[in-house]
């Protein structure tokens, strides 16, 4: 079928709730579904999926759209890629004569095919006469034929032009070859970047080859090289072996530093091993990993560089509420060496005894300070306090203080006292401000949101409300803005107007517009009358209390407000 028909067919076949539920744990909430937003870090669900409209919206970060925009955002795809991905998933064949009008999309499509072809050629070369040196290297690293096939390992021959000529013979355009980032091209020569290296294909979570890592086998410079960024590859957005590990029966990931560590772990039965693609774990990688499992064990090298990488990685993973532990590999320098020297069972023991991330960081602090020196001891305690204060709540803090005191042989009561002395004033101020804000918001927002939601879904009532409910009866600016527009624009027009705005007022308005309350068994008019009465009474009463507590208002003003309250109570709100 043609491309546009395929788009229509995909929307008809795929229920957006079922699809998004593969990425986000959704729960029924009225007529919609809610869950934690996959596009920003949050602890309270603000992500809504609307089955009747086949759309989603996050009231925290303002992301919204349909199934195509969701897959584009979460998998970093273009629109063309999202359609092709979903079509393949549903077994929909799109006419091959279709040509993307976007040149970048067309090149991206060709690059996926090109990288698959190159990966196959590297793999075949490994088992050819040219690849004997590569096979020898993998044998020395004690890799089985099974795991070599599993990861599609290969070898790039020393013949510089072999790969390029092979791709030219398959009619790839010069533009695609140039953008593949596989070659050094100048006026006189073409060089395969990976020539003379064993190859580690990098595969995305859709099981498509998108890049390569290569290890030199002689003693030349640049022992390890990796693919540069292309239209299909960004190292900060991908994780090595996640396409396999995401399906592991283990309920945790083992995070390693290098390809060989991961491959050795998989060969030993730990198919949950993954690695970041670069020297440091990125925020985008942590977010990607968090979609599949929320427990992670660091298995980095035991040298100073590895320890520092763990220290940098812990706060990044903390943003996404991971349960983080660190495995002790000593006396081995890395997991590859540990597995080969001590075996799978010993590694399992180390996993069971892996150290909690906070306790690990505290143990490192002891190495940085001479705790026999009173001044350095003070700094040591302050660093512990910083770690503890980053924890989410008082109960978790208390539990960690107990564990830290036990691990570091510190006096529990003294540690508690130090933490209280350093944080008491800040906490008290924060709690008071938060409490006042929540009380004010809860008192008005629930009433105002119900009134506005009813009016949005029942526009025929609006004209009878305008002479009863004044714009100044509302407490919040977003409520006033929305109320002022009711009757002038439809619900869809209002959503379109505020969807792309990122200010707080627009987010609150969208929150109301996307809220779908169930009034099936409720009298709309009676509910409106009751809520308008409550809103007016609360506004008048709060204003009266402000007047009484202030020296800026006359007795007459106070009496006038008091009379308005009496009249409101006597004369019920009635919608004609």
Segment 478-493, tens digit of pLDDT: 888 888 888 888 887 8
**388 and 357 in contact (C-beta within 8 Å)?**
no
Q: How confident is the model at residue 436 (pLDDT cuts 50, 70, 90)?
A: very low
User: Residue 511's Cα: distance from chain center in Å?
Assistant: 21
Torsion 462-466-471-475 (CA) sign: negative
- pLDDT value at position 518? 61
- pLDDT value at position 437? 45
260 Cβ partners below 8 Å, 6+ apart?
141, 336
Task: Give the mean pLDDT of 402-420.
Answer: 82
Q: Is residue 137 predicted with pLDDT exceeding 90?
A: yes
Range ranked top by mean pLDDT from 199-203, 302-306, 307-311, 509-513: 199-203
Which has more confidence, 198 or 529?
198
Task: Give the mean pLDDT of 314-326.
Answer: 89
Average pLDDT value over all residues in the chain: 84
The predicted-structure confidence for 140-150, as pLDDT tens digits, reads as follows 999 999 999 99
In the 8-state DSSP scheme, what is residue 235? G
Q: Kindly state the greatest CA–CA separation across the chain.
A: 102
- pLDDT value at position 149? 96
Range with the lowest mean pLDDT among 50-54, 94-98, 198-202, 327-331? Answer: 94-98
The predicted-structure confidence for 441-465, as pLDDT tens digits, reads as follows 556 777 888 888 888 888 888 888 8
Q: Is residue 52 predicted with pLDDT exceeding 70?
A: yes
Range with the lowest mean pLDDT among 61-65, 250-254, 331-335, 490-494? Answer: 490-494
- pLDDT value at position 443? 62
Task: Give the mean pLDDT of 507-529.
Answer: 75
Task: Give the mean pLDDT of 328-343.
Answer: 90
Q: Does a cis peptide bond (omega within 30 degrees of 0) precede residue 331?
A: yes
Beta strands 64-65 and 183-185 are unpaired
- pLDDT value at position 203? 95
Structure tokens at 42: 């949050």
Q: What SS3 state is found at 308?
A: helix
The predicted-structure confidence for 250-280, as pLDDT tens digits, reads as follows 999 999 988 999 999 999 999 999 998 876 7
d(CA 351, CA 362): 19
User: Nearest-CA neighbor of 99 among 233, 206, 2, 180?
Assistant: 2
- pLDDT value at position 567? 86
The pTM is what? 0.66
**66 and 34 in contact (C-beta within 8 Å)?**
no
Sole residue written with tokens 């968090």: 290
The phi and psi torsions of 572 (rounded to 5 degrees) equal: -65, 150
Sort 452 into a burial class: Cβ within 10 Å, 0-12 / 13-18 / 19+: buried
Q: Is residue 345 predicted with pLDDT exceeding 90?
A: yes
d(CA 405, CA 392): 19
The phi and psi torsions of 344 (rounded to 5 degrees) equal: -65, -45
Residue % of the chain over a pLDDT of 70: 92
Which residues partner with 27 through β-bridges?
34
Task: Give the mean pLDDT of 385-404.
Answer: 81
**564 and 540 in contact (C-beta within 8 Å)?**
yes
Q: Is residue 386 predicted with pLDDT exceeding 90?
A: no
**454 and 512 in contact (C-beta within 8 Å)?**
no
Task: Give the mean pLDDT of 233-243.
Answer: 91
Range with the lowest mean pLDDT among 144-153, 174-183, 238-247? Answer: 174-183
Q: Is residue 428 predicted with pLDDT exceeding 50?
A: no
End-to-end CA distance of the chain: 56
Dihedral (Cα; 546, 550, 552, 557), 10-degree rounding: 50
- pLDDT value at position 133? 94
- pLDDT value at position 517? 63
**321 and 296 in contact (C-beta within 8 Å)?**
no
Q: How confident is the model at residue 97 (pLDDT cuts 50, 70, 90)?
A: low
Transcribe 350-375 into DSSP letters.
Answer: HHHTPEEHHHHHHHHHHHHS-TTSHH
Q: Is residue 377 predicted with pLDDT exceeding 90?
A: no
The predicted-structure confidence for 199-229, as pLDDT tens digits, reads as follows 999 999 888 999 999 999 887 777 888 998 8
- pLDDT value at position 466? 80
Which has more confidence, 363 or 441?
363
Which residues partner with 213 through β-bridges?
200, 226
SS (H, E, C) 416-466: HHHHHHHHHHHHHHHHHHHHHHHHHHHHHHHHHHHHHHHHHHCHHHHHHHC
Helices 412-457 and 491-499, interaxial angle, to 10°? 140
Task: Give the mean pLDDT of 109-120.
Answer: 93
Q: How confident is the model at residue 239 (pLDDT cuts 50, 70, 90)?
A: very high
- pLDDT value at position 190? 80
Q: Is residue 435 predicted with pLDDT exceeding 80?
A: no
Task: Give the mean pLDDT of 33-39.
Answer: 90
Query: In 10 A of CB 458, how many CB atoms?
Result: 14
Q: Is residue 158 predicted with pLDDT exceeding 50?
A: yes
d(CA 10, CA 79): 13
Which has more confidence, 315 or 553?
315
Q: How confident is the model at residue 426 (pLDDT cuts 50, 70, 90)?
A: very low
Q: Is residue 130 predicted with pLDDT exceeding 80?
A: yes
Structure tokens at 360: 């690990």
- pLDDT value at position 525? 85
Q: How confident is the model at residue 1 (pLDDT cuts 50, 70, 90)?
A: confident
Sort 569 into a burial class: Cβ within 10 Å, 0-12 / 13-18 / 19+: exposed
């Amino acid at each position: 079928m043609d491309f546009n028909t395929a788009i229509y067919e995909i929307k008809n076949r795929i229920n957006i709730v079922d699809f998004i539920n593969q990425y986000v744990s959704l729960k029924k909430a009225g007529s919609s579904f809610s869950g934690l937003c996959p596009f920003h870090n949050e602890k309270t669900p603000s992500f809504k999926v609307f089955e009747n409209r086949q759309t989603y919206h996050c009231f925290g970060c303002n992301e919204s759209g349909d199934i195509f925009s969701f897959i584009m955002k979460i998998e970093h795809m273009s629109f063309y890629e999202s359609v092709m991905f979903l079509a393949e998933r549903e077994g929909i064949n799109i006419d091959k004569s279709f040509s993307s009008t976007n040149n970048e999309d067309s090149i991206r499509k060709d690059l996926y095919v090109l990288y698959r072809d190159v990966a196959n050629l590297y793999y075949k070369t490994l088992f050819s006469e040219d690849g004997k040196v590569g096979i020898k290297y993998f044998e020395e690293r004690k890799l089985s034929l099974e795991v070599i096939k599993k990861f599609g390992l290969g070898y790039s021959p020393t013949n510089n032009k072999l790969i390029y000529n092979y791709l030219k013979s398959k009619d790839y355009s010069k533009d695609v070859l140039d953008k593949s980032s596989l070659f050094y091209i100048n006026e006189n020569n073409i060089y395969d970047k990976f020539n003379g290296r064993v190859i580690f294909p990098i595969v995305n979570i859709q099981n498509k080859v998108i890049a390569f890592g290569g290890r030199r086998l002689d003693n030349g410079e640049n022992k390890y090289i990796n693919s540069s960024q292309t239209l299909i590859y960004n190292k900060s957005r991908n994780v090595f072996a996640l396409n396999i590990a995401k399906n592991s029966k283990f309920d945790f990931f083992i995070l390693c530093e290098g390809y060989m560590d991961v491959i050795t772990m998989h060969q030993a039965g730990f198919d949950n091993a993954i690695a970041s693609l670069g020297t440091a774990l990125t925020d985008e990688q942590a977010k990607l990993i968090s979609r599949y499992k929320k427990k992670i064990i660091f298995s980095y090298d035991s040298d100073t560089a590895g320890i520092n990488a763990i220290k940098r990685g812990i706060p990044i993973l903390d943003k996404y509420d991971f349960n983080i532990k660190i495995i002790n590999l000593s006396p081995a320098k890395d997991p590859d060496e540990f597995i080969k020297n001590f075996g799978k069972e010993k590694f399992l023991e180390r996993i069971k005894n892996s150290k909690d991330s906070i306790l690990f960081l505290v143990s490192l602090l002891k190495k940085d300070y001479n705790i026999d020196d009173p001044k350095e001891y003070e700094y040591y305690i302050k660093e512990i306090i910083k770690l503890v204060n980053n924890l989410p709540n008082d109960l978790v803090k208390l539990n960690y203080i107990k564990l830290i005191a036990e691990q570091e042989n510190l006096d529990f009561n003294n540690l508690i006292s130090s933490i209280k002395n350093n944080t008491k004033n800040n906490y008290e101020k924060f709690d008071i401000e938060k409490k006042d804000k929540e009380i004010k918001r809860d008192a008005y927002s629930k009433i105002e949101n119900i009134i506005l939601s009813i009016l949005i879904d029942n526009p025929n009532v609006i004209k009878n409300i305008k002479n009863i409910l004044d714009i100044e009866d509302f407490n919040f600016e977003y409520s006033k803005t929305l109320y002022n527009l009711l009757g002038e624009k439809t619900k869809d027009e209002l959503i379109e107007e505020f969807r792309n705005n990122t200010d707080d007022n627009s987010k609150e308005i969208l929150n109301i517009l996307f809220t779908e309350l169930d009034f099936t068994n409720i009298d709309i008019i009676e509910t409106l009358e009751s809520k308008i009465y409550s809103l007016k009474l609360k506004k008048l009463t709060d204003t009266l209390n402000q007047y009484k507590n202030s020296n800026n208002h006359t007795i007459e003003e106070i009496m006038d407000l008091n009379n308005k309250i009496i009249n409101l109570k006597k004369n019920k709100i009635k919608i004609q």
